[in-house]
Every structure is written in C-alpha cells, then in structure tokens.
C-alpha cells in the first residue's frame, strides 16, 4: 500500500531546547496480583527535552509500556514523580476529591497513540477525531472544524466520512494520530505505533511523526522494539532492561560512547570477532572524516597487513556515520601504537573482545599470546 506523505517536506529543522518537558524521578511501579509481585519499573529517571523525538527501546517485558502509561498517569506509579510541561502529575493525582478533573485537564496536554489504534468502529473517522473534543465540552461546530483541520494535517481529508473498517492500517494510525492531537498537546506519547504496520507504511507514519514534531514543535516520546525506528527519527534514546534505564542520551552522543550497547545495536558492523593472535578494532567516524586514506596510511607507516572485516555507512539521527571493523596482526600489546595512531587521527576506536581493558588491568587474560595460542 503506497501511502502519500501529506505533511510538507521537513524543511523546518527540529528545535530541541534544553527545557525539560517530561521528567520522571525514581519512578517505580510494582504490580501485585494473586500474592505475586512484579517490579515493572525500578527507579526510572527520564529526561525528555522540549521539541525532541525520544525513543525508548528494550525487549518485551522491559517495562516500556508501563513507563509510558505512568507518564500520563493511566497507571498510578507505586513511587516516584512524573512531571509533564512543568506540571507535577503525581501531585495532582494525589490531591483527593477533584483530583480526577485536574488530572483529566492536565492530560489534554498529552496525546497518546496506540499500537492497535483503538478507534471506535461505529463512528466515522471524523467522529473518532471529535471524541476527545466532545469530552472537553467543545461545541459541535468548533469540533468539526478542528477535526477536519487535523484530518487534513495527517493527509486524510477525503476520509472524514469513512468508517475505520474501510481504512488501511496506516490510515487507521493516521486517524489515531489526528485524535491524539485534538487537545493541542505539547507532548505525544506513542506505544509501538508502527508495530502492526508493514515496513513501507511504518516509514510513512514515522515521517508524519517527524513532520509533526518539526511543524508543531511537538515533543514525542515513543516506545519501540525496532532499532530502525530510533535510527530514522529519534534525537535521543534510552535502553530499558528489567524496569531500569541502562543507557540514555542523544543518539549522536551514544554513537560516540565507547562500549555503548545502543550504539552497537543501532549500528552493527558485522564481521568476525578476533581469531587467535589477531586484534580486531572497530573504527567509527562521523561525517566528512574519511577512513580510507587513514587505513592505508596506517598500513604503510607500520608496514602491517590490515584486513577489513566489515564496514557500513548509515544515517543515524540525521548524521552520516561510518563504521569499519578491521583486523590487525598480532595481539593487542603489539598494536598499541597503530591503535594510538588511529585515535590521533580523530577516529573513535574500540578494541573488540575486551583485550584493551584486560591489558589495562594488567592481567592480559583476554589476550592470547603467540605462545599461548600454540
Ligand atoms: N497489569 C499488569 N499486571 C501485572 N503485571 C504486569 C502488568 N502490566 C505489565 N506487567 C508486567 O510488568 C513487566 C513490564 O511489562 P511492560 O511494561 O508491558 O513491558 P514492555 O512494554 O517493555 O514489553 C512485565 O513483566 C509484565 O508482565
Ligand atoms: Mg509494551
């Protein structure tokens, strides 16, 4: 299904500011059912800046959905705080009688998009988008005007009178996004919004989210288990495991962090791991830095044979990034100087298999020497 991409090409650049829009501190959620306890969130500190697209990744069961449901307080955290657009939602929720309405009001500033769209099948597309406006008590005429404007924004002006069953998956998700924008939210939360869609439709929905982010200055917090989603549209990302955030930062910073698991997942190099008596080195370079001359210079200067085991160029977070896995003859100790040379050229260099760390510890246990290998 070829879906038109309605929003204008992203001529507008994202304007991420340092103002925090979503902040959680020590967020913890323990589910108790039939005498069993599951700690779904275990002290999560999340910081999402205004205007950014922030991706949370992690395997099934990591706590991603619980986190996003706690951010809009659909789920009550066991402890910790959530603040969105300067408002402490956890404090609002705890304020006894009347808390419900205060919280509902605050929630209008938070749009939510779901994996399975959650549209009402008996209502037309337009009426689905009008639903949150009805709840807000907006008059009929104004509701319709707003709904049509939003349908136009997501490229569905011609489907206003259709019913959800007549739409493709991608179109249903566009309705879901239009409905999420009805209350003019500052923040859009998305839980696996593209997981039920084919790759091409996924791309068009991601593009739409990116365009809305730029056109409306909308901050987007999205949950996904697909690294490609992060690669395509995220400014920042966090990796969750066992209810905790184990890594987080801007995509650019993560890529420049030696040993980052997210960087490795975002940008796998491929290629074999070190054989005996060999040193395998992963070289990362950004933008214009050209590796090719550096590698041949290295070979000439030190008179060594370098094998390229794998290489890839890609665009991550809007930047060109290259990675190359090369193999140098001899164990790590014999390659300290050539590796230093690469680092001097401004390349980011990681020695595979922990050989460098082992050498620093002085144990050398991950390094097989010539004698040891025989
Ligand atoms: N309503 C619930 N009751 C009990 N346990 C739950 C509930 N929701 C989620 N969990 C548990 O919390 C953990 C995190 O779940 P979830 O947030 O859905 O993870 P993810 O979205 O990363 O797959 C899992 O172990 C899950 O089984
Ligand atoms: Mg989930």
> Which of ligand 1's atoms lies nearest the C-alpha of 33?
4
In the sheet with 79-84, reading across from the earlier edge strand, the strands are: 36-49, 20-33, 79-84, 87-88
Place of tokens 């000439």: 300
Residues 6+ apart with CB under 8 A from 184: 108, 109
Q: What fold characterizes domain 268-373?
A: Alpha-Beta Plaits (3.30.70)
Pairwise pLDDT comparison (161 vs 290), residue with the higher score: 161
Q: What are phi and psi of 162, to 5 degrees?
A: -75, 165
Residue 279, Cβ density class (10 Å: 0-12 exposed, 13-18 middle, ≥19 buried): buried
65 touches ligand 1 (CB under 6 Å): yes
pLDDT of residue 310: 81
In this structure, what DSSP letter does residue 22 have?
E
pLDDT (tens digit, 9 = 90+) per residue, 193-250? 998 899 999 999 999 999 999 999 999 999 998 888 998 899 999 999 999 999 999 9
Q: Which residues of 15-47 are buried (b: 16+ CB within 10 A; e: fewer)?
A: ebeeebbbbbeebbbeeeeeeeeebbbbebebe
How far apart, in whole angstroms, are the C-alpha atoms of residue 238 and residue 265? Answer: 12
How far are the Cα atoms of 103, 144, 285, 328 from residue 344, in angstroms, in the given order?
A: 55, 62, 13, 17
Average pLDDT over residues 313-336: 82
What predicted TM-score, i.e. pTM, was given to this entire model? 0.80
pLDDT of residue 290: 59
Portion of the chain with pLDDT greater than 70, in percent = 86
Sketch the domain layout of the chain as residue ranges: 20-109+185-255, 268-373
Query: Is there a contact between 49 and 16 (Cβ–Cβ < 8 Å)?
Result: yes
How far are the Cα atoms of 64, 248, 311 from residue 39, in angstroms, in the given order?
A: 12, 21, 40
76 touches ligand 1 (CB under 6 Å): no
pLDDT of residue 273: 62
pLDDT of residue 271: 62
How far apart, in whole angstroms, are the C-alpha atoms of residue 219 and residue 60? Answer: 24
Check if CATH label 3.40.1390.10 holds for domain 20-109+185-255: no
pLDDT of residue 161: 97
For ligand 1, atom 14, which residue shows the shortest CA distance? 63
56 CA to centre of ligand 1 in angstroms: 15
62 touches ligand 1 (CB under 6 Å): yes
3 state SS of 192: coil
Residues 6+ apart with CB under 8 A from 36: none
One DSSP character per residue, 250-284 reads EHHHHHTSTT-HHHHHHS----PPP-TTEEEEEEE
236 touches ligand 1 (CB under 6 Å): no
pLDDT (tens digit, 9 = 90+) per residue, 339-361? 998 888 888 888 876 667 767 76
Topology alike, domains 20-109+185-255 and 268-373? no
């Amino acid at each position: 299904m070829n879906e038109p991409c309605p929003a204008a090409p992203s001529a507008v650049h994202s304007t991420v500011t340092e103002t925090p829009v979503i902040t959680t501190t020590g967020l913890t959620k323990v589910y108790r059912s039939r005498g069993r306890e599951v700690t779904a969130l275990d002290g999560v500190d999340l910081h999402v800046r205004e205007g950014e697209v922030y991706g949370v990744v992690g395997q099934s069961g990591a706590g991603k959905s619980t986190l996003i449901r706690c951010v809009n307080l659909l789920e009550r955290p066991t402890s910790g705080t959530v603040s969105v657009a300067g408002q402490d939602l956890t404090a609002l929720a705890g304020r006894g009688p009347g808390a419900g309405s205060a919280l509902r009001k605050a929630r209008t500033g938070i749009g939510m998009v779901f994996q399975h769209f959650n549209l009402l099948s008996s209502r037309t597309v337009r009426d689905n988008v009008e639903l949150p406006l009805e709840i807000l008590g907006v008059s009929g005429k104004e509701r319709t005007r707003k709904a049509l404007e939003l349908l136009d924004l997501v490229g569905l002006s011609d489907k206003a009178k259709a019913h959800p069953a007549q739409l493709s998956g991608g179109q249903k998700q566009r309705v879901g996004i239009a409905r999420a924008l009805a209350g003019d939210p500052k923040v859009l939360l998305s839980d696996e919004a593209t997981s039920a869609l084919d790759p091409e439709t996924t791309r068009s929905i991601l593009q739409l989210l990116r365009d809305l982010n730029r056109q409306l200055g909308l901050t987007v917090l999205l949950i996904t288990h697909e690294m490609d989603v992060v690669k395509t549209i995220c400014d920042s990302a966090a990796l969750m495991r066992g209810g905790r955030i184990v890594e987080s930062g801007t995509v650019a910073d993560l890529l420049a962090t030696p040993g980052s698991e997210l960087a490795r997942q975002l940008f796998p190099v491929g290629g074999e791991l070190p054989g005996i008596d060999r040193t395998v080195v992963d070289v990362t370079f950004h933008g214009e830095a050209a590796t090719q001359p550096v590698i041949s210079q290295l070979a000439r200067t030190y008179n060594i044979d370098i094998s390229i085991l794998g290489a890839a160029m890609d665009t991550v977070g809007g930047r060109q990034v290259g990675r190359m896995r090369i193999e140098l003859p001899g164990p790590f100790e014999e390659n300290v100087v050539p590796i230093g040379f690469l680092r001097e050229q401004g390349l980011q260099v990681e020695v595979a298999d922990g050989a460098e760390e082992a050498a620093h510890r002085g144990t050398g246990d991950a390094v097989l020497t010539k004698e040891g290998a025989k």
